[in-house]
Structure 1
């Protein structure tokens, strides 16, 4: 099997990929993640996922490379990673009682054949009505400052939600495994028969 590279510095994406019980290398791409003028959330995450995979191909020209990127969108506004406590408070206050759509861009690049598969997977989170006190308590407990939308759904973050809508709950954490398995199958990688 070709070497499989996860093009991400995210420990959460790495933990998700480990669920598939296949060998991979984690390698952080170095790209500019700035939003281009007029770029939509879906076009942004799709572009960045592909750029991450292509950036890694320079160092791994024979590999299969996974690129992924995620943003949250509320009332048409893109929310990125908050980076600090007060920004996270503002993000969660604006999400309180609202539906927030998370878009995850996923790319699988075969550096050997120069073929790229890519898609965007949406996932909608309906937030409970939250007080500022609840939000601050949550943030002090989990400190999700490097997570789009200011929460970790795999932890206490689940207490923030009224309802989840989407095809794959892994998408919310940043790596839509159901779609990734399809893309890997297209490249001849069957996660249920990894050595064949």
Structure 2
């Protein structure tokens, strides 16, 4: 697989960056083909959500890197890029277009792509940063169990609740992000779309 290589020179030193974001998208497409297959493979939904959210974050980080290294060079870019790369995922999604286009463009918060990517980020946080949930109940569990009563508890395991339809929506949203913002930004061909709005 061919990859884009960027070369930089500053203060008499040479630097090379190998763009590997395409690896994320290639693997995402490959995994998505399993999701779209006729077989119902539920664990693939979890794998897809995990890879899709990783792909989105890697893409945002690359866009930030690309902007700052071109603005400040290979020595000083890190001072600026790291502060944006290290903010919360949802905030990074919303802040990136505004910062890297110097407030010229922003994401339309009401469009399908952003609403779906926000849902992806929320689901990713729930499954990758799972916290125990204590449920209150009016039941006398010890007594009810002795009497043989059936007890139903609310399922809060988000891995089991991921649907094929959600994965299809996530796929459409991340490809919209890639085609309407990431690639055009990198190629300096950003235009207004349903996702990208001009200030």
TM-score by length of 2: 0.25
> Which of structures 1 and 2 has the bigger CA Rg?
2
Structure with the higher fraction of residues in helix conformation: 2
TM-score by length of 1: 0.26
